[in-house]
Structure formats: C-alpha cells, structure tokens
Amino acid sequence: MLFWIFIFLLARQSSLTQGHPDLLVRAPETSCDCTINSCRTLFDIIWGCLATMFACTWVALHQNVPDPDLGHFALLMRKLRMMLVTIIAPEVIVGFAARQLVSARWIAKEFNVSTTHGFFCNMGGFVSEEGHPVARVKQLPAYISAIQKIKKADIEDKSKGDTLSKGVAIAQGLWFVTQCLARASQHLPLTELEVVTLAFAVLSVVIRLLWLHKPLDVQQPIIVGRSEVDIDPLQEEDITPMNTGFLKKLVSAIIGGYNYLPISSTSVPSFYLIEIGTKDNQQLVDFAGVCGVGSIFGSIHCAAWNALFPSMAEMWIWRISSVFIAAYPVFTFLTAAIGAWTEDDIAETVFITFIVAGAVIYPLCRFFLIILSFTTLRSLPPSAFVDVNWSNYIPHL
C-alpha cells in the first residue's frame, strides 16, 4: 500500500503535461537561471540515465560459469543475450537471483559450507575431473569433502568484483533513486527517460543484494575430486533427454530457474540452479514474488502518467504500455493460483495462454516505453533542466 501511495505522489509531483489543453493540465513551470549549480543540460540527463542503465544491466549481471571452450565473441554474445533479457524483463532476473540465493543457502546449511560455496555450485563453478559440472544434489555428497577444503577466499579471488565494489554499485543505484525522489519533493519534473531508468535502478538494487555473495564474471571453474568411498552419482542419473521446448524453458525462466542438466554438459545453462526439492506451494510463492516485482516495475512507469508528452498518441502509448506491464504479472499469477488450487484444466489453459500472449505483447510494451523515453526528450519543459537544490536537505551545502 505504501508503494502505491509513493507512485501516486510521484505521478502528481511530475504532472507537467503538454498536448490537448482540455484534457491535460500544465503545472507551473520553473525557470532556470543557468548557473552551474542550478541547471543541468540535456547531455547531463541522457548521460546520467545511460550510465545508470548500463550499470543496472551489463554490470549487474552475475552470470554462471561459461563453457571453457567458448571464444571471446561467443562470451560477448552470451552476455548480450542476458542483457537483452534484463532490459525486456528484469523481473525474470530478480526471480532467478532470488531462487538461486535460496538454493545457495540450502546447500550452505545442508553441507556445512559458505553461501559463496552454494552460489558457486549453482553457477557450475565446481567441475569433476572429467570436466562435468558438480551441480546436482545427488552429486554433492560424493564431492563435498573436496569442496569443503576449498577456501571461501579462493572462490572470491576468481570474482571480478568484491563486496566493496558491489556495495559501491548498489550505492550508485540508490543515489539515482534519491535524486528522483528529491526532484519529486521539490516539484521538479522527471523526464520519461529518468522514469525508465528509475525502474531499472530499483530492480538493480534488489538484484545486487540477492547476488551479493555470488562471484562475478568467473570464467574458469575449479576442479574437485570425488571421494573414493562413494559411487559416482552420475551412473545413477537418468540420461533420457527431457522435453526442453521453448515454452517449457520460458515458463521455467519466469518462475525463476531451469534445472535440467545433461550428463555430457561441460557447463550449466544461463538460468540454471540446483533443484532442492521445492514443493508446489513454495513454487507458487516464488512465482508470486516474481509477479509482484514485475508489477512494481510496471507501476514505476505509471509515475509518468501525467508527465509532459509531445503528442497525445505518445501519451496514450505510454499509459497503455505501463498499465499492461503493471497488470499483466498480477493476472498471470491469479490464473496460475486458480489452476493450482482447483486443478482445473481450463485455468491451466488460460495460464498458458497468458504466458504465450505475454511473450509477444510484453516485449512490445517494453520496446515502446524505451523508445518513447528517448523520443520525448525532443520537447522538455524548462523546469526539467532545473537541478535539485540539495541545500534544502543539507544546510550550507
């Protein structure tokens, strides 16, 4: 409830709309005296947003360990694909990170290792002497003695970022959120680009906190030996290929993870996590969390409901896209919950229909919002270039 009140107040404070005079109300504009301490340029707005958005997508991604045989171009394309998923549906990354954290903590508690060890197992960081990831619950007892001998510091040494650098990145996202809140409190408008960046910044902070103990950009795994007294658990694994169609992978990713790993694999998939036997009701709770984050992400875009738009068409495209992104996760969860509780085939069919339809409409709405966030920069009110007066909060600044 407090979040929705915040969005409502932010939308009211950003009420600077241009277009049809009978439908849209223009708030009083504030002029800028063009001093270095009170004005910002269009370049400042674009650069600040792009830098924050880059940090929220490219830098924030903590990928699983890649296949050791991948070349530089393949690694680049792999990260670009993950970046594209983050731009289109960042709530999927939040759900994946949350479930990976739960799995890592379970491994840490069950096998008496650190959470970092748990994350490293989930991301395919430990491999057998044959080069296959030790990333199944059945495998861990046979390799846990070797894993326990590996120090947490040795794993962290493979990471391209430590706790301090991750903390600075989190602070960067929080600083952008603080700037937006300060502009709203001083009745200064937010550009549509800033609203889009604000949504990314909020989710980026959540993602970074969830992955705080996950090593960043590890390129090479650690080889661990199997205990001599244990049978190789891979001999007991079912090698029958599973149905890994696009729809199954899509639903698995939306729920928060993908746990099919063939025996011949030399690395884990991008959305892989170790399945810890989560019950159906817990999966529904996890799905509710993903849908809730998705709804919050869309609701932040609704903060620009009364913002300045160069045309009526752009205004309505923005509003419709924002409402769809905010409402789609809620209706999807409701259909999933009804299907789970009633075990009704009709409800399951409706759920699958929502998923398939959303896979087409949702990216289009995200695309429209991103495009509009840049095209609307061609017509900004003078008050959009007024900088925040921080002396109102910090005296003598």
> Which band of pLDDT confidence, cut at 50, 70 and 90, is reported for residue 368?
very high
Please count the other Cβ atoms lying within 10 Å of the Cβ belonging to residue 231.
Answer: 10
Question: Span 291-311, mean pLDDT?
Answer: 88
Which ranges in the chain belong to alpha helices (H)?
A: 2-13, 42-54, 72-88, 90-111, 115-122, 140-149, 152-158, 163-185, 192-210, 246-255, 280-301, 312-342, 345-375
Pair of tokens at residue 233: 């658990």
Q: What is the rounded average pLDDT for all residues in the chain? A: 78
Q: Nearest Cα to 186, choosing from 363, 14, 364? A: 14
Question: Which tokens in the block code for residue 111?
Answer: 């096998």
Distance of CA 75 to CAs 125, 141, 217, 222, 360, Å? 16, 31, 11, 19, 27
Q: CA 214, CA 75: separation in Å to the nearest integer?
A: 19
Position 261, amino acid: L
**Between the CA of residue 363 and those of 87, 274, 355, 369, what are the distances in Å?**
9, 28, 12, 10
Record the pTM: 0.77
Burial-class residue 123 by CB neighbours within 10 Å (0-12, 13-18, 19+).
Answer: buried
CA nearest 266: which of 135, 82, 85, 101? 135
How many CB atoms are closer than 10 A to CB 360?
A: 8
- DSSP notation for 299-325: HHHGGGTTS--SSHHHHHHHHHHHHHH
> How confident is the model over 145-168, as a mean pLDDT?
82
Question: Which sign, positive or negative, has the C-alpha torsion 165, 168, 169, 170?
Answer: positive
Please tell me the predicted confidence (pLDDT) of residue 163: 67
- Neighbouring-strand partners of residue 177: none
- Inform me whether the pLDDT recorded for 382 exceeds 70: yes
Strand, coil or helix: what is 39?
A: strand
How distant, in Å, are the alpha carbons of 158, 189, 200, 356 from that of 303? 41, 11, 14, 28
Q: Which residue has the higher pLDDT, 121 or 32?
A: 121
DSSP string, 76-142: HHHHHHHHHHHHH-HHHHHHHHHHHHHHHHHHHHHHT--HHHHHHHHTT-EE-TTS-B--STTTHHH
Q: What is the distance between the alpha carbons of residues 226 and 73, in angstroms, rounded to a whole number?
A: 34
pLDDT per residue as tens digits for the range 174-192: 888 888 888 888 888 889 9
Cβ-contact 126, 221 below 8 angstroms: yes
Instruction: Give yes or no for residue 242 having a pLDDT over 50.
Output: no
Please answer whether residues 339 and 348 qualify as being in contact, where contact means their C-beta atoms are separated by less than 8 angstroms: yes
Joined together, the tokens standing for residue 285 give: 């709770």
Sorting pLDDT into bands at 50, 70 and 90, what band is 172?
confident
pLDDT of the residue at 248: 53
Other C-beta atoms lying within 10 Å of the C-beta of residue 289: 17
Ranking 107-116, 127-136, 258-267 by mean pLDDT, the lowest is 258-267
Q: Say yes or no to pLDDT of 237 above 50.
A: no
- Nearest to 96, CA basis, from 297, 274, 245, 261: 274
